[in-house]
Amino acid sequence: MTTPIVPELMSAQAFAPFGDVLEVAGAPDKIINQGLCRRYHDRAKLDFGDGRAGVSLFQAQRREFPLMLDMVERHPQGSQAFIPMTLVSFLVVVAPDAGGVPGQPLAFLTDPGQAINLHKGTWHGVLTPLSEPGLFAVVDRIGMGANLEEHWFDTPYVIAGPPD
Amino acid sequence: MTTPIVPELMSAQAFAPFGDVLEVAGAPDKIINQGLCRRYHDRAKLDFGDGRAGVSLFQAQRREFPLMLDMVERHPQGSQAFIPMTLVSFLVVVAPDAGGVPGQPLAFLTDPGQAINLHKGTWHGVLTPLSEPGLFAVVDRIGMGANLEEHWFDTPYVIAGPPD
């Protein structure tokens, strides 16, 4: 049994090696609509390779701590953005690549109002809402060819709940 | 003074001439993640012309009925999807094109959990949340060249609250 993984709070800096955090933090890039709307412009590094962008909806089952992490996956052909459609936290699991297999996974707990974009090819756990209805918009690659690689761990990891 | 516009409930059928409704209605297109997640696949007709897709966040001021509608705009170079990041209704105003100017506007009230995608070149009102914090993810065109056309009405329209 490995040491449980303890989620850390999501931040743009800590998540930078894996993807982007989309949030209304700091000054907006533009004020539009006669002053009524703040635009935080073009905050995700999208890459759909030879495919195109699509918007899909995901509805995923709510999960509870402690979580068993037996698999991570990656999409070698495209980035994947997860936009929560409810103002709640969700869990994001990622892992660095270590020579074609995932290294030690990390877990992040988002703040309500944060969306994330996984860069192309980033190892990650499946979508993990912590509350109902688990509704997300997903911006990812639509196209032909294999775009899913799974890695099953010989020994699953355990992800503990966040510290109080 | 024109007759007030009364919002109708958003539906994919009624909205079809203007854009797409993204919602988890009916059977999912795929079940993924070992049965834990329902994917409603590729539900928006995206078109970014000679530009590329981007994801931005919009934070817009909450509005109240009755609303004054003095302007609609369109983006001749790209579609624009609005994904609410809170589980609430918002108001969508669109208008058919009538020879290069907007015709009679229509107003729609979304159900919580619905996102919408305006097709390229569709006349529409500015983003109109009806509750705080007015937080949306927007998938639209990033690129060079003019992509905003505004039309100011000689006589503003009034949008009434929905019928009880």
Digit-coded pLDDT (tens) for B37-53: 999 999 999 999 999 99
Does pLDDT of B163 surpass 80?
A: no
Please name the member of A39, A54, A134 whose beta carbon is closest to the beta carbon of B42.
A54
Inter-chain residue contact B85 with A81, CB threshold 8 Å: no
Spatial distance between the Cα atoms of A5 and B80, rounded to a whole number of angstroms: 39
Q: So what's the pLDDT on residue B112?
A: 98
The tens digit of pLDDT for each residue in A70-128 reads 999 999 999 999 999 999 999 999 999 999 999 999 999 999 999 999 999 999 999 99
Cis link prior to A102 (omega < 30° from 0)?
no
Q: Which of B36, B87, B91 is most worth mutating to test chain A (most A CB atoms within 10 A of its CB)?
A: B36
User: Between chains, do A36 and B60 touch, taking CB under 8 Å as contact?
Assistant: yes
Tell me what pLDDT residue B32 has: 94
- Identify how many contiguous H helices and E strands chain B contains and give both numbers: 1, 14
- Please judge whether A55 and B37 are an interchain contact, meaning their C-beta atoms are less than 8 angstroms apart: no
Mean pLDDT, chain B, rounded, equals 96
Identify the CA nearest to B58 among candidates A117, A36, A86: A36
Chain A nearest-CA distance from B41, in A, is: 5
Per-residue model confidence as pLDDT tens digits over B7-23: 999 999 999 999 999 99
Phi, psi of B134 (to 5 degrees): 65, 40
Asked whether the beta carbons of residue B55 and residue A33 sit closer than 8 angstroms, the reply is no
pLDDT of residue A1: 59
Nearest to B86 among A33, A43, A86 (CB): A86
pLDDT digits (tens, 9 = 90+) for B112-155: 999 999 999 999 999 999 999 999 999 999 999 999 999 999 99
Residue A4 Cα, gap to closest chain B Cα (Å): 22
Q: Which residues of A touch B53 (CB under 8 A)?
A: 46, 48, 53, 139
pLDDT, one tens digit per residue, over A14-54 is: 999 999 999 999 999 999 999 999 999 999 999 999 999 99
CA distance A145 to A152: 22
Higher pLDDT residue, A47 or A1?
A: A47
Confidence at residue B1, expressed as pLDDT on a 0 to 100 scale: 59
Q: Which of B48, B55, B61 sits opposite A81 (nearest CB)?
A: B55
Shortest CB distance from A24 goes to which of B36, B59, B83? B59
> Which structure tokens are listed for B125?
């009102």
Look at residue B60 and tell me whether its pLDDT is greater than 80.
yes
- For the residues B45-71, what does the mean pLDDT come to? 97
| pLDDT of A71 | 97
Per-residue CA distances from A15 to A19, A122, A157, B18, B100 (Å): 6, 11, 20, 37, 46
Best CA proximity match to A146, nearest among A111, A121, A126, A114: A121
Q: Do A53 and B46 touch (CB under 8 A)?
A: yes
Predicted confidence band of residue A2 (pLDDT cuts 50, 70, 90): confident
Nearest to A46 among B53, B61, B84 (CB): B53
Residues A142-150 have a mean pLDDT of 95
Contact B36 A87 (CB under 8 A): no
Domains of chain B (ranges; CATH) run 3-159 (2.60.120.480)
